[in-house]
Structure formats: C-alpha cells, structure tokens
Structure 1
Amino acid sequence: MSVESPYARDLRAVPVKALSVDVLGSTTRYWEYGAVTADAPQTDTILTTDTTDVATTIVLVHGFRGDHHGLEPVIAELGGAVRIIAPDLPGFGASDRLLGRDHSVAGYGDWLAAFIDALDLQDAVVLGHSFGSIVVSEAVAAGLPVKRLVLVNPIAAPALAGPSGILTRLAVFYYWLAAALPERAGFALLRNRVIVRVMSVAMAKTRDPRLRRWIHDQHDRYFSVFSDRRVVLEAFRASVSSDVSHFAPSITVPTLLIAAAEDQITSVAAERRLQALFPDARLIVIPDVGHLIHYETPKPAAQAIEAFLTETADRS
C-alpha cells in the first residue's frame, strides 16, 4: 500500500493533463500542470482541465533515476498560478529511451532542446534538479533559447569530490557491478529494493516519521522505473562525469541556484564557488535539508522561485 503524500491536497487542486510528443524519433511523456492552455496538444489522459491564459511557463527536468513525480511537491507549492511542463527523461518513467544516441549529458541536452522546440516553449523558464541541473545547464550553454534558469540541488562540483565522496565511490562500484553481471542479474541488482531503501535512508534528512515514510515509498515506487540496464548505466556515467561548473561561465541568462545546507553531494562552499562562475546568478541556501529539497522543503523552494520570477519579470 502506498503512503499518501503530505502535499496531496494541494496537488489535487492543481489542474493537470497527461500528454505525449515525439522527440528525436521516440515518445516523451509529459504532464502539464497549473493553468493549462486551451490549445495544448491532444491528451492521452485528461485528469483535470482548465483554460486559463498564463504569462509564465516552467519546464521541469528531474534527476537521475527519478521521473516527473519527484517534483510534484514543488508543483503543489507553486499552485496553479504558472503553467508547468514536467516530462519524464528519455528511458525513465513513462518515456521511451533515446534512439541513435547515448543517454549522456549531451544526448539529454539535445533531447531537451528538441522537446522545447517541439512544444514551442522558447520563452519558458527551465528548472533542473540534481542531474537535471547538469542537463539543462549543458543545453543552455549550447544555445537553448530560454530566458531564465532555476537549478535545485545543483551539482556544483565532481561527485567524487563531494562531502560524501565515499558514498559516491560505493555507487560507482554498484553500477560497475550491475554492468559486469549478466543482463538478468544486473537488471535485478539495479532494481533491488534493499539497495534502493539504503539510498533513500542516506539522502533523507527530515526527522518527521510520516515524511520519511513517504519519501521511502516514493523511491520504492519510482526509482526503478526505467526502460533497460543500458539507460541507467549510461545516465549514471553522465551524472558523475560532469557538473554545472563546466557550463556556468557560458550561461548569461538570470539564474537561481537553490542549494541545501546539508547536501551530501555538493557542499555549500562549492555552491558559492559555482555562483561566482555565472555572469548573473543568485544563490539561496535552505537549512536543515540535504539532496531532497523537492521532497522535504518544497515550500521555501517554491517561494524562492516565485521571488526570482518576480524579480526578473522585466527581463523575460
């Protein structure tokens, strides 16, 4: 039995449509939340509808091994005031894998540019969480025409150099072993519920037992929904081989960095160094949370996003 989200009531108040679009030859599934436009593409499933016109659209790019569900608490806190487009990354969740290219940072960057072009979202704000922060930064640095950028739990430095470098090295061994084993055994290892739970426990910082149970349930339900072993291994190699600092100097649009005081992957000091690399960036550090801002502290994250959108409205 699944655990009810602490954000369920607020999320139910937000209109949402389930949609799909062909991107680079494969199907990307995405969800449109908030003020859903009347001219949106034909839905596969209509959950709730609304035809309010909106001035701001935010495209969300989730992190490694997640899917769009992970960012729903932030969506719930933002409410229906903005239009939100939340795709599943290719090969994860309900989206098909990429065709004819690796699931690398560059491969996902190409996909994001094509996705935004397919939906004519060039004026959107783009938000990336964790691995998604690397993907969107690569795409914007390569010329993706967006006006503003938000990075939540941005990967500011090489993962092996982070505060929990030993945990990253264990993860490297885990994924190496999953690749070395025969296909069936390697696939089973990647979906092992005990290992998924260990990862979840290591990342959660909240002392609220109800919230912890829900976080673990979310990881149990969505952390192992991927198309095949190759996708996961390629995306993992991408996640530890690059970081946002590689792209920051080339990103000229206004950027908001939402960091966590207790992030196990990137320290606050590294986030401050990252901020200095951007021509135009501001940094918000949320206390008493680690790499799960989107689960544990979505309200202050949403407040920071709303303030950033208001502050930079005349530059969009």
Structure 2
Amino acid sequence: MSAVPPVTVDPNATLETRAARFPVHQIWLASSQRAVTYREADGADSNALPLVLLHGIGSGAASWVQQFAGLGDTRRVLAWDAPGYGASTPVDAASPTASDYATVLKEWLDGLGVERCVLVGHSLGAIVAGAFAVAHPQRVAGLLLLSPAGGYGAASAQVRSTKRDQRLAMLNELGPQGLAEKRSTNMLSAHASDEARAWVRWNMSRVIPHGYAQATHLLANADLASDLARYSGRVAVAVGADDTITTPEACERLAQAARTPLQVVPRAGHAGYIEAPAAYTAIIDTFCRTSDGQRSQ
C-alpha cells in the first residue's frame, strides 16, 4: 500500500479567503473620470455614523478585515484602495500633495452618499485624513489617527529628496514582493503572531509600483502637523508602544499639534490594528460611539 501524500495548504489561499469575506467593490466617479475600489461591511445600525478607514503606504483596503468583522455589524464600515492602489485610478500629479488624495476621497464619499463620517487614517492614510478634515471639516465627526506619518514637508529640501529617493530606489530594486519580504518585519512588534506577519506580507506584496511611487512623493511633500494645528475638530491619536516606524515620540509631537493626549497601545508595532486587532478595534469603537453624538453638527 502506498503512503498517502501529505496535504499541502497554501497560506495565501487562506488569506485570499479571509479577504473574500468582504469583496472588492468599484465605483466610477464621472466627475473626475476615475475608478475607486473599496471594501465594505454594511452595518445594520442606521443611527451610527459610517466609519471610513484609510490604509498606509504599503497596504490596501483588505488590511482592515478584522475591523470589518468587529465593527461591521453595528455601522457601515468602508475602506478604500487609495489612488494608485488596487484598481483605483492614480492621481494625476507625478509628485502629488495630500490635497490631491483628499479631493478623490471627497468624490468617493460623495459617490457613496456619505455626508458625514468618522475618519480613521493609519500611517500615510493619516496624512490624507488630516488634509480632508481641514478642507471639509463639516464632513468629519471625528478624526482618529493610528501611528500617523507626519511627512517631510517641513524639512529641508535635502532631507525631503533623500528620504524620497531612498524609498524609490528600494522600490525599484525590490519590487512589491521584495518590499513585502524585507519591510514587513518592521511593521510589527516582537509580539506579533505568524498569522499577523503573513497578513502584512500579503497586503504589502500587492502594492502597485506606480501608486507606491506617487505615495512616496506624497510622504515627502506632506506636513500633517501643520494641518492638525489648523484643524479645530475632534481628534484622537494612538500608537503602538513598539512602533519603530512612527515612534511614540514622533506621534506625541503630532498629538501635541492636534491638542490631544497620545494613547499608547502596549505590545504593538506600526501595523497595530493587524497584530493587536482587539485593542485597536476597541479604540476605534469607543471613538466612533463618542463621535455618533456629533452626527448632525
């Protein structure tokens, strides 16, 4: 009798199945002749404000599936693929600013009928969220920034170009798959599970080089602290205690610009919402419930 061959499980197939619980949707924005792809959990509680989630530079809408699962029963939860990610049309500018992305964000929310929301930005997504909140404060009931990237817009021209060119060179050398293998470890703390590490790699390996390059320019051009200093709405800032990319010290400066205390999450790194989903989903849920009272303001 011949031996039964071992069953091989493709780890990527499991991740694909996980993402498929919240399938990709696409909307065509006729006003700007562009497409935006996104994922959604359509919560049944119509009295709750929609929750809009903006991912970072090495990620995508699928990275939020644990928040969809945790919060999608009580409110509408939306996460876009930023311009140049997924099948979303890139912005037009070769070296864009935060306002270029904020304009698309407004058009996307208009297209989905979202007049007012709770807006959450992670890392580079915080830059877009901050620019949108300043431009359209009446649309934002609450602004929650998770491990926000501040951008290098206030730095010297040399620092800005060096930071930009180093990241672009890494992209050209490694490509998305290489980026995922080399950079994903930095996104998490030493406490992260193997599953969380695989999930970060899966999302990062799917970035589109052109969109990632444009986002690199955005990072070099942006100055989130300046936007937060001008914004008078409700803001909260949280960071993982073990975040080595946007460190607690750097996030403290952004929290001070926003005139709000910094919340530090223990045993979490940069992609804290992936490796410590219960803690981050609780933070988002609490912030949303408080913001629901400002639905019509």
TM tier, shorter chain?
A: 0.7 to 0.9
Task: Tell me what 1:45 maps to.
Answer: none
**Selected match of 1:141 from 134, 137, 140:** 134
How far does the alpha carbon of each residue in 1:135-176 deviate from its partner, in whole angstroms, 9 at most, with x for none?
Answer: 110111123522211111112464999xxxxxx968742414
RMSD: 3.2
Pair 1:197–1:25, CA change in 2 (3 A): same
Measure, in 2, the Cα distance between the counterparts of 1:288 and 1:160: 31
- Offset from partner CA, 1:254-290 (integer Å, 9 cap, x none): 11212111212222233223222225x3432101211
Partners of 1:275 and 1:294 in 2: CA distance: 19
> Does 2:235 align with 1:255?
yes
| Equivalent in the alignment of 2:265 | 286
Which of 62, 69, 75 in structure 1 is aligned with 2:68?
Answer: 75
SS in 2 for 1:191: helix
Q: Distance in 2 between matches of 1:109 and 1:82?
A: 23
Cα deviations by residue, 1:191-243 (Å, 9 ceiling, x for unpaired): 25334211012222144553354235424xx43432x53x3222102113324
Correspondence 1:241 to 2:221: yes
Gaps of 5+ in 2: 1-9, 156-160
The change in CA–CA distance for 1:30 and 1:216 in structure 2 (over 3 A counts) is: closer
Question: 2:37 corresponds to which letter in structure 1?
Answer: R
**8 Å Cα contact 1:127/1:150 also seen in 2:** yes
Q: Does 1:129 align with 2:135?
A: no
Question: In the alignment, which of 178, 185, 188 is matched to residue 201 of structure 1?
Answer: 185
| Residues 1:305 and 2:287 aligned together | no
Which among 16, 26, 42 is matched to residue 20 of structure 1? 26
Alignment of structure 1 residues 142-291 onto 2, 5 Å: 142-144=135-137, 145-156=139-150, 158=152, 172-176=165-169, 186=172, 189-191=173-175, 193-215=177-199, 217-219=201-203, 222-226=204-208, 229=210, 231-279=211-259, 281-291=260-270
Q: Hey, what's the Cα distance between the residues in 2 that align with 1:275 and 1:97?
A: 30
By how many angstroms is 1:56 displaced?
1.8
User: Which deviations, in whole Å up to 9, do the C-alpha atoms of 1:13-57 show, x marking residues without a partner?
Assistant: xxx46432223211111222141xxxxxxxxxxxxxxx6634220
- The question of whether the paired residues in 2 share the 8 Å contact of 1:58 and 1:126 is answered with yes
TM-score by length of 1: 0.76
Decide whether the 8 Å contact of 1:160 with 1:240 is kept in 2.
no
State the one-letter code of the partner of 1:67: G
For structure 1, the 5+ residue unaligned runs are: 36-50, 162-167, 179-185
With over 3 angstroms needed to count, the CA separation of the structure-2 counterparts of 1:118 and 1:209, relative to structure 1, is closer
Counterpart CA distance in 2 for 1:177 and 1:208 is: 25
Q: What SS does the corresponding residue of 2:101 show, helix, strand or coil? A: helix
Judge conservation of contact 1:101–1:107 (CA < 8 Å) in 2.
no
The alpha-carbon deviation at position 315 of structure 1 amounts to: 2.7
| Partner amino acid, structure 2, of 1:155 | A
Inter-CA distance 53–313: structure 2 relative to 1 (3 Å threshold) = closer
Name the count of aligned residue pairs. Answer: 277
Does 99-108 or 269-278 show the bigger shift?
Answer: 99-108
CA distance in 2, matches of 1:294, 1:17: 20
Q: Percent identity?
A: 21
Equivalent-residue separation in structure 2 for 1:59 and 1:212 (angstroms): 22
Assess if the C-alpha contact under 8 Å between 1:56 and 1:124 holds in 2: yes
TM-score by length of 2: 0.80
The equivalent residue for 2:11 is 2
